Structure 1
Amino acid sequence: MIFIKLGEKIEEKKVRVSLIHYMPFDEKEGLSDNEISQGVLVENLPEKDKILLAQGSKALLYYNPNDKSLFYEYEQNGENLNETKRRFSFFSKK
């Protein structure tokens, strides 16, 4: 499982992901129950658009709490390209 910590709520269907932790249950590097309660657990992350990344864009990961999906938006030089990537639904494990 992958843990994503939820950050700033941009709008009802768009919450910024502020942290990704790939070993949330590891004995040494894992997270506490309190820390896990500040986000959601997912099976996988959507793929980033390699073409946009190669062109210098920055991928920003967001979470939609309504349909429990993750998606990327891309910025180039601080300007939002209004591009979204595939949305992945998942179930949180708590």
Structure 2
Amino acid sequence: MIYIEHENSVVTFVHYMPFDEVNGLGKSSEELQTTGLLVDSIPQPEANGKIPKLFINPKTQELWYEYTDRPLSPEEEIVRLKAQLKITQDALDALLLK
């Protein structure tokens, strides 16, 4: 079993071995279910280059991911800004040369 805590359907904590004698949470199933849910498995997120956020429907225990774009690295941001600057410069040159 996997223990999950959530807030407003957003999974905030996952423990894969809640009943382990060494690394477990030291609580019974009934105690854990007062603060979270026990599920059999968690789906793997898609490898789509975005940041996954795990959600759960507490009533049905359905789990799913929602994805957000990851921030650009500094190098990617420089490339994006240079491309934007070139477009702006080309437009300005076109206006000035008319």
TM-score normalized with structure 1 length: 0.63
Find the structure with the greater CA-based Rg: 2
Unaligned runs of 5+ in 1: 10-14, 79-94
Question: What is the aligned-residue identity percentage?
Answer: 37
Aligned residues: 68
TM-score normalized with structure 2 length: 0.61
Unaligned runs of 5+ in 2: 72-98
When you count strand as a share of all residues, which structure comes out higher?
1
Tell me the alpha carbon deviations over residues 17-59 of structure 1, each in whole angstroms, 9 at most, x when there is no partner. Answer: 0011010001121112445521111111112111x1xx2x111
Residue number in structure 2 paired with 1:4: 4
Alignment partner of 1:37 is 2:31: no
Residue number in structure 2 paired with 1:28: 22
Runs of 4+ in 1 over 3 A off after TM superposition: 33-36
When you count helix as a share of all residues, which structure comes out higher?
2
The CA deviation at 1:77 is: 3.5
Q: CA RMSD in A?
A: 1.7
**Greater relative contact order (Cα < 8 A, sep 6+):** 1
Q: Measure the CA separation in 2 of the matches of 1:24 and 1:66.
A: 21
